[in-house]
Every structure is written in C-alpha cells, then in structure tokens.
Amino acid sequence: MNAPSPSSPRRAFITGGGSGIGLAIARELSAAGHEVTIAGRNAARLEKSGFPFVEMDVTDEQSVIDGVKAAGVIDIFVANAGAAATAPALKTRREMWDQMIAVNLTSAYLCARESLPSMRTRGWGRFIAIASTASLKAYPFTGAYAAAKHGVLGWVKSLALELAKTGITVNAICPGFTDTPLIDDAIDNIVAKTKMSREDALAAFVKDNPMGRLVTPEEVASAALWLASDGAASVNGQSIIIDGGETAS
C-alpha cells in the first residue's frame, strides 16, 4: 500500500475527540481536508460533534484494540484523551495514582502499540500525543498527573528514535492551562471547596502565563495540524510547548 500523496486527504483518529482540545483538533484537521474519526466514551457527546466516531475507553486494553481496528486505516493518530485529578502528594490514594497513569500514560502506550504497525507498513504516519506543561514542570497537588505526563514524553521520545527511518514522526504537544471543560470543572471544584469567586479561581490558573490568559483549544489544534503536515516531516521526538511563555521563565 502506497503512502498518501501530499495532496490527498489522510485519515486521522483522535481520542477524547468529543470536546475541548480533541474536538478542536478534529475540526482543524477536517477543515484542512483530512478524513477524521473521533473516539471517546460518551456516545451522545461524540454523536453531537457530527464526526464519525468509535466508542472507546483508552484505559481498557481490549477497547483500544477493538476501537483502532474499527477505525480502519489511520495515518494520523492524536492521543488526546486524558484526565487530571489533584491531591497532596503524600495523600494521593493508590486508586487515583493508578487512574492517572492509566488514562494519561498507559493509554498513549496502547494507542501507539495498536496504530503504529500499520503506518510502518505503509511508510508514512504521524503520532501526536497531547501532553501538558505538567510534562515539563511541577505543579502543587498534581503529583500523579505530572508523573504520568512526564512519562508520556519519555514514551514519545523513545518511539521517535526507534521509528525515525520509517516515515513516521512521533511528537508531543504540551499546552498550558487551556480553556476547556476540564478547566471549567476545576474552577467549579475550587469555588465549591474554597468559596473563592470564579474570577479569582481563574486568576490562579493564568497567573503564571505571561500573556495572562488561558490557551485556546484552537491554538493547540493549529500545532497538531502542522505536525501532521509534510512540512513537519523532520520534526520528531519534540515537545511543542503552547503556554504563553510560562515555561520560559
């Protein structure tokens, strides 16, 4: 099977594609002419997106195997599904630890394991993991999440080196705090626990961003579109940081 020509649409598969960053990436890739399938656990949300979808739980090995198989040919895989839970480091329950590793790190392993062999056979592919600035720095009360996201970068770099001569690139995007339902839920949680106003809770998330605002999902999606392009063919094993300059300080 020949690699897709630069002018032909490629087939993209995006986990966690029903909302937030995943949905923004789906829309960006679709607007560029790519054929997009999204995956997630909430069928109603996936159907509402208007994209073809596969129900898939990235923490369940058999679900990933079945979901990737159901999607058919995949040229561009965006491992976006993730979750963030918070707790003091020494009060982090084993259940939370295991869940953060499963949904953020083991999922990236499973998705790569199932999708990359067929890309290798065709001689072209893109694997893009949505990581986080928590892959690069520490935040208080996010030990399990940060450990998982740091692990994602190690996995991405190892894959990139092993597949460098196959026509496949493997990269990560590391957004700072982004204007998604995940942040909305976090703000609601802070307000409920501390009686802080929503404005003050939001300020806590943007205080380290020199631009003084949340990253937009569309900004992350633009980076994903570039990494999926032929123009990024030599970009491999990288962490593309989108954080307004937070990690530069």
Catalytic residues: 145
- CA–CA gap between residue 19 and residue 32 (Å, rounded): 19
Q: Report yes or no: 144 and 92 within 8 Å, Cβ to Cβ.
A: yes
CATH code for the domain defined by 11-177+215-243? 3.40.50.720
Predicted local confidence at residue 7, as pLDDT: 46
- CA angle centred on 30, ends 26 and 33, rounded to 5°: 155
pLDDT given for residue 35 in this prediction: 98
| pTM for this prediction | 0.94
The domain locations on the chain are 11-177+215-243, 179-214
Distance of CA 221 to the CA centre of its chain: 10
Closest residue by Cα to residue 22 from 224, 169, 205, 236: 224
Give SS3 for 28. helix
pLDDT value of position 66 = 98
For position 2, what pLDDT does the model report? 53
Question: What's the confidence (pLDDT) of residue 1?
Answer: 44
Mean pLDDT by 10 residues, the chain (249 residues): 58 97 98 98 97 98 98 98 95 98 98 98 98 96 97 98 98 97 87 89 93 97 98 98 95
